[in-house]
Amino acid sequence: MSQKLIECVPNFSEGVNLDIIKQITNEVESVEGVRLLNVDPGKATNRTVVTFVGEPEKVIQAAFLAIKKAGELIDMSKQKGEHPRMGATDVCPLIPISNISMEETAEYARQLAKRVGKELQIPVYLYEQAQPNKSRSNLSVIRAGEYEGFFKKIKLPEWAPDFGPAENDVKRGATVIGARDFLVAYNVNLNTTSTRRANAIAFDVREAGRTVNDEHGKPKNVPGTLKSVKAIGWYIEEYGIAQISMNLTNIEVTPVHKAFDEVCDKAHARGIRVTGSELVGLIPLKAMLDAGKYFLRKQKRSVGVSEKELIRIAIKSMGLGELGPFIPEERIIEYLLKDKTASKLVSMSLAEFADETASESPAPGGGSISAYVGSLGASLAGMVANLSSHKKGWDDRWEEFSNWAEKAQVYKDELIRLVDLDTTAFNRIMESFGLPKSTPEEKTARDKAIQDATRYAIEVPFKVMQVALNSMEVIKAMVEMGNPNSVTDAGVAALCARTAVLGAFMNVKINASSYKDKDFVTDIIAKGNAIEQKAIALEAEVIELVNGKIGL
């Protein structure tokens, strides 16, 4: 992904009327090149969080149209809801996603704010990284007083808007536009209806904590236990429960699983039980994988399991499906951005993959098959590691084998990815041969495209060789120290890894034969020969160990 990408997550003060929400999101989808990822309405909060992504200029256009439409359809003089709010478009943050800095993103936020203020005549406040005045960069400080209080607040000199009129719009209110890091909006469900008790827990955990009087009766701040967390308690009539509503502003500092567990502990101390949780909007894949590993480690179980299983464990452990189904493909940002054509082969069933390979099409060919065979070898190594981690009587060694299983999963996932990449590399060569060659310029461009595609078709199978060889470290370790009942599984893994290396090297060599950079070819063939010899030697060593343990 080489283009610049930013994400926009506007919050609109309407969560009940789905027709209004659809009209707003239609404006987003009307901009070519912008991808609408998620629409998350909340009835009790009367608020909808919309997420879309694209190149900066297109995202800015989509955001402007959505803000304009929201102002036409939402009447703030009649709007009520549990969530704090100050305008029809309450807040509109931009988040850098790919190949763009925070400084650039902040400048785009200022461009959007200026346009909204000038063309729509809506009061606009900048926040977070887009706001140069740090005394008014915090969203909660800006929004204090909410819609009802802004008719007076906006008249104060220190609260003049950054753009637009210094007059709170009766129908549309005011809006806040800025740039920030990725934020996870996350609610934890409680078995109580008390907002006061929910707030007490929120104050226990949020970074800002609470204000109390010291022994002299003077106010002092007692910080909460979680850094980079904002939180309040509220009652959600729609569900009949109170929640801790949190914004996790830096999930590297306080990840979702840590926030969940801390709320569980603080709730328990107050005689309250957590029953589940709710994600608002989207979440990065890493956050879900980290959560799955965290809860498996608490159980002293191997974390070297599939991505799908880690996500399942995270959902179950945090009760993310309590209030409604949690569908990973609709809530994890990487899954929504994934190019489905890039995993065409690995998405097939085993029978479909075999049929496609056996068809008259030249791809998938030996390179993709080599990568897939290598992934099976790594999978078998991971299986032995997981069986060893959970073997009765080996409880004190679970973490050691978990680490081996985790390594095997990394190799397996990379080799799976290379299955489709090898076919993509072949298709690139075919496409480059099909380029026009009528003029000298076209011939030069075609020749360059062929050479670029050929180099890529060399590098992909060479990567297969490297990863398959590396997986043999896990394979050998599982033969030597793993569950003895699975020693032959590790032996088969070695056969697969060696096949992957030798098969991929054939593809390296045949593509290298037509590549014009002979220094590159000489170097990569030498490296390939070394990898091939290591794989052959390791396979022989593993097979000897396996046969020795079988004893026949």
For the chain, the straight-line distance linking the first and the last C-alpha, in angstroms and rounded, comes to: 54
Of 25, 70, 34, nearest to 55 by C-alpha is 34
Q: What is the largest CA-CA distance in the chain?
A: 91
Of 78, 77, 76, 102, nearest to 90 by C-alpha is 76
Q: 175-179 and 89-98 as β-strands: parallel, antiparallel, unpaired?
A: parallel
Sign of CA dihedral 222, 225, 226, 232: negative
Of 93, 56, 90, nearest to 179 by C-alpha is 93
Residue 530 identity (one-letter amino acid): A
Query: Is 83 noted as a catalytic residue in this protein?
Result: yes
Of 43, 62, 170, nearest to 116 by C-alpha is 62
**Residue 358 CB: number of other CB atoms within 10 A?**
8
Whats the size of the chain, residue-wise? 552
CA distance 549 to 355: 38
Catalytic residue among 75, 83, 390, 413: 83
CA distance 178 to 190: 32
Dig out the tokens for 41 from the structure. 């309405």
Radius of gyration for the chain, computed over Cα atoms and rounded to the nearest angstrom: 28
CB 450 within 8 A of CB 516: no
Query: Is 420 noted as a catalytic residue in this protein?
Result: no
3-class secondary structure, 133: coil
Of 123, 114, 97, nearest to 181 by C-alpha is 97
Catalytic residue among 40, 204, 422, 489: 422
Catalytic residues: 83, 422
